[in-house]
Amino acid sequence: MATKLVIVESPAKARTLDRVLGRTYSVKASLGHVRDLPKASLGVDIDKGFTPKYVIPAEKKRIVGEIKKAASKASSIYLATDPDREGEAISWHLVQAAKLNEDKIPIRRVVFHEITEGAVREAFQSPRSIDMNLVNAQQARRILDRLVGYKLSPLLWRKVQRGLSAGRVQSVAVRMIVDREREIQNFVPQEYWIIEVELAPPEEKEASFKARLFALADGTKLDISNKDEADKVIADLEKAEYTVKAVVTKQVARQPAPPFTTSTLQQEAWQKLHFTAGRTMTIAQQLYEGLPLGKEGSVGLITYMRTDSTRVAASAISEAREFIKEKYGAKFLPPKPRSFARKAKWAQEAHEAIRPTRIHRQPEQLKPFLDPAQLKLYELIWKRMVASQMSAALYDTTSVEIEARSAEKQLRWHQGYLLKASSSVVKFLGFMAVYGENRAEDEGEDSSGFIGVSLPKLRIGDKLIYLGIFPERCFTQPPPRYTEATLIKALEQKGIGRPSTYAPILSTIQERDYVNKVEGKFHPTELGVTVNDILTEHFPKIVDLGFTARMEEQLDEIAQGKYEWVAALQEFYPPFQDMLNKAWMNLEKISVIQTSEEKCPNCGRPMAIKVGRFGKFLACSGYPACKTTMPYAVKTGVSCPHCGGELVKRISKRKKVFYGCSQFPKCQFAVNRKPVAQPCPSCGNLLVQYRGDWAKCVACQRTVKISAPEKQKEEVTL
């Protein structure tokens, strides 16, 4: 009996679907894309309407053959790739590469946003055909990126150095980092003073509090910009009499944040867990595709993790509200379900936010089945979803305005001064019983208000006694450098990239050595600044934030069937080619020498980092007088267990990362995982990073929790 063939991207997803669908279905994994543009050539016929020339990579030919063979025995074919443009394109490429439409077997496309039995069976009951609008949007993005990358890279090789490359979206991210660095360098600090006065009711000196000076008595804002001004004000305040002018007490409600989108998950995972965007997405993919939960088998734990929507299915909201009422009580449940509107005009509301597939599957129940990193990310997603349907947190806030005057009119400003003090006390935890947030940091709220202090009971007209004064000289600060969280947030706000692109953008700009991450913050390299300046001068549209955002909107319109993909390419390419021709003619050769800490063993000059056909290598900066070269490596600070040399990061001919002894070929010790400085507590041998915050001994195989300093250790480049 012929079975129904289901094709997905990954083996993990295949295992989960196999459990859900049963024996009448055969599930195969394509391992991602099975066709792409060729690596060795442009692969786009510009003169024939930007026709792409797709090829099947050598490593995918066996998979395509297996899928074609399985399809010939099937009664029907279901394409169950991911529910986005990339997934739609993979399905279309599968049909074309394996020629699935030649055998006249019914081909159906099924889409689900969570891999649960209910969602999967519902999708299989409502199949559709491949959406060519989504496919064309993905094709347009792929061809745009290919045109920019393959046309700009040779220019950079010739004019700067070999091995460089440029990307349509990544170059914009680099520009943002470079622009921020220049803002910091050009920033001129401005002096200002904060003055606080310690006050207390006459009969309750132990109930003292500090109030901050903010204005003259008539409400005019007071800016103190130097010590002379500060000293005069301090002298006035030391002589003043203090009276309570106003007391405002009110209750403030703080609402929970919506469930995660891709962007907000990456931001929060960086802030709370210190996970990079790439690591967050890798773990989220595992949670989505399914993990074995004992007797339950392989189960999808979260909904699809590439989304810009905050919408949640009514059934999931109902389940969350039932859970909240049952576990926390009715007072933690708002009268009506919460819904969250997405402000971004390109948000795809057909998708859902990232949430657990079952709210009743609590994090503590999954400890036996998930590794520590998976559990942490699942707990973050679970708590955010539960909190989003809980009651608001309530605060009792008190704000006191105090007037400082002198009865003898000895103050320099006779109208006196105004000071403020405030306090905020949690009256009801609400959603914060589950999920604590730092809203000032996460959402950019103004956190510079008056310090929250414990205030005594005060009434208008009450006199206060002066206990002391606390002046502080301050300077304005430059804008902060981008972290992973703040860069992703800025990209999303400016409309640059989409959910599937944030993590690749961040990893690519680091791999190309255009930026470095130092203590979690992005710094542009000299090379990054040079390439950015070339692109800004000669290709202003390519690195223009507004232009790139409009291109993203155009791709969204293609996905909605509102714009032709070839027309978008025809609009983009002629101006781009014109800029390219002018750059070839006008751009002078630029020399960028990146020196390392290594010294040439022959002449003692610094070794420079160069890029060749097979990647980076070290060459003497005295070339051509000295032609010494050495392999490029990255120090780990960990000793080789065989000879005592240092283990260094290397890249094999197949572009695989490994860690080998710096004394090679004398010592040939090597491991595939990053070595850890701390030794195995059982046998003293080498530990290598294993999963999340855990390391494994290469000798006794014991797993060990990595200490905090080890996790934060930076690699040192040779």
Q: Which residues pair with 215 in a beta bridge?
A: 221, 418
Does residue 495 contact residue 549 with C-beta atoms inside 8 Å?
A: yes
Give Rg (Cα) of the chain.
Answer: 31
Rounded Cα distance between 307 and 113, Å, is: 10
DSSP reduced 3-state for 284 = helix
Contacts of 292 (CB under 8 A, 6+ apart): 298, 299, 369
Q: Annotated catalytic residue: which of 78, 288, 304, 514? A: 304
DSSP reduced 3-state for 594 = strand
Rounded Cα distance between 326 and 304, Å, is: 27
| Residue of 258, 260, 257, 187 whose CA lies nearest to 488 | 260
Does residue 674 contact residue 689 with C-beta atoms inside 8 Å?
A: yes
Q: Using CA atoms of 410, 413, 415, 417 in order, give the dihedral in degrees to the nearest 10.
A: -100
DSSP strand pairing (107-109 vs 191-200)? unpaired
* 690: annotated active-site residue: no
Contacts of 278 (CB under 8 A, 6+ apart): 503, 504, 506, 507
DSSP per residue over 432-492, as a string? GGT----HHHHS-----SPPB-PPPP--TT-EEEEEEEEEEEEE--PPPPP-HHHHHHHHH
**Site of tokens 């202003």:** 540
Q: Which two tokens stand for residue 444?
A: 């950019």
Element (H, E) at 499: none
Rounded Cα distance between 416 and 410, Å, is: 10
Burial class (CB in 10 A: 0-12, 13-18, 19+), 222: middle
Rounded Cα distance between 520 and 530, Å, is: 23
Amino acid present at 272:
K
Q: Is the backbone peptide bond immediately before 624 cis, with ω within 30 degrees of 0? A: yes
Burial class (CB in 10 A: 0-12, 13-18, 19+), 241: middle
Element (H, E) at 602: none
DSSP reduced 3-state for 242 = strand
Which residues are annotated as catalytic? 304
